[in-house]
Structure 1
Amino acid sequence: MTDIRVRFPVDDRELSALHAAAFGGAVEVQAWGARLERWALTWVGAFSNDRLVGFVQVCWDGGAHAFVLDTAVHPDHGRQGIGKRLVLAAADEAKAALCEWLHVDFEPHLTAFYLEACGFRPTDAGLLKLR
């Protein structure tokens, strides 16, 4: 069974390792806890036997708009509905904070996940690379 926990105490090494496993590459420990406390509306983790196996964060503008970022599920736990549960829990948290809109950007191979599984609708958007 996988437990979903909102605003859980973040272990920087554990979350960095999850990101490395989910997105590829070496583990580079990031200051996740400090970043989330400062910038995130909320974050949600999925835990299996108290081990972090999934994560998503929601940032916001302090008003109507919230943004899904960093959705990650450990490859050993993929295709079990964990990502969907994380995103829907994050959406519930944004709604409880009185946000009106929840935005997400994603790569084409994730279209079915976000649009069909999680209920987002397609919109036009723009992106400006700064560095």
Structure 2
Amino acid sequence: MTSTFEWRGRFGNSELNELHSACFDHPVRGSDWWGRVSRHSLGWVCAREATLRLVGFVNVVWDGADHAFLLDTMVAPDAQRRGIGVRLVTAATDGARDAGCAWLHVDFEQQLRDFYLDACGFRPTAAGLIAL
């Protein structure tokens, strides 16, 4: 099925809450995604199937200058393994570059290493993390 990708695309909170729930395996929440990304993000990418169903999303936050960060990369479970995730990250990379960012960062769990490093072209770096 053909998918479209839109930088700073429109979405409804309910459809993004449902996608997040399906991708991260938790009950559907009532988060105000639109308010969050509108206030805090450089941009985001929405992927939609020809039916207009939201099948993918990635949030691009930034420091207001050179560094952008990917958060909440997600592809609907029934739409995975079709290249949608790579195209989301590519569109996010292009959007951050076009905005003048010099670096795009991503943190990921070990099982996503091949996706981010091999499929998307990130290179490994040392990083730190504190669980709060």
Q: CA RMSD of the aligned region, Å?
A: 0.6
The aligned counterpart of 1:57 is 59
- 8 Å CA contact retained: 1:17, 1:29: no
Counterpart check, 1:107 vs 2:109: yes
- 8 Å CA contact retained: 1:94, 1:102: yes
Q: Which amino acid in structure 2 is aligned with residue 83 of structure 1? A: G
Q: Which amino acid in structure 1 is aligned with residue 108 of structure 2? A: F
The aligned counterpart of 1:68 is 70
The aligned counterpart of 2:25 is 24
Gaps of 5+ in 2: none
The aligned counterpart of 1:89 is 91
Deviation at 1:91, TM superposition (A): 0.3
The aligned counterpart of 2:80 is 78
Deviation at 1:129, TM superposition (A): 1.9
Q: Which amino acid in structure 1 is aligned with residue 130 of structure 2? A: L
- Give percent identity, aligned residues only: 53
Deviation at 1:8, TM superposition (A): 1.4
With normalisation by structure 1, the TM-score equals 0.97
**Cα distance per residue 1:65-122 (max 9 Å; x no partner):** 0000000000000000000000010000000011000000000000000000000000
With normalisation by structure 2, the TM-score equals 0.97
Secondary structure of the 2:29 match is coil
State the distance in 2 between where 1:113 and 1:71 align.
Answer: 11
State the distance in 1 between where 2:96 and 2:8 align.
Answer: 13
Gaps of 5+ in 1: none
Query: Paired residues, what number?
Result: 130
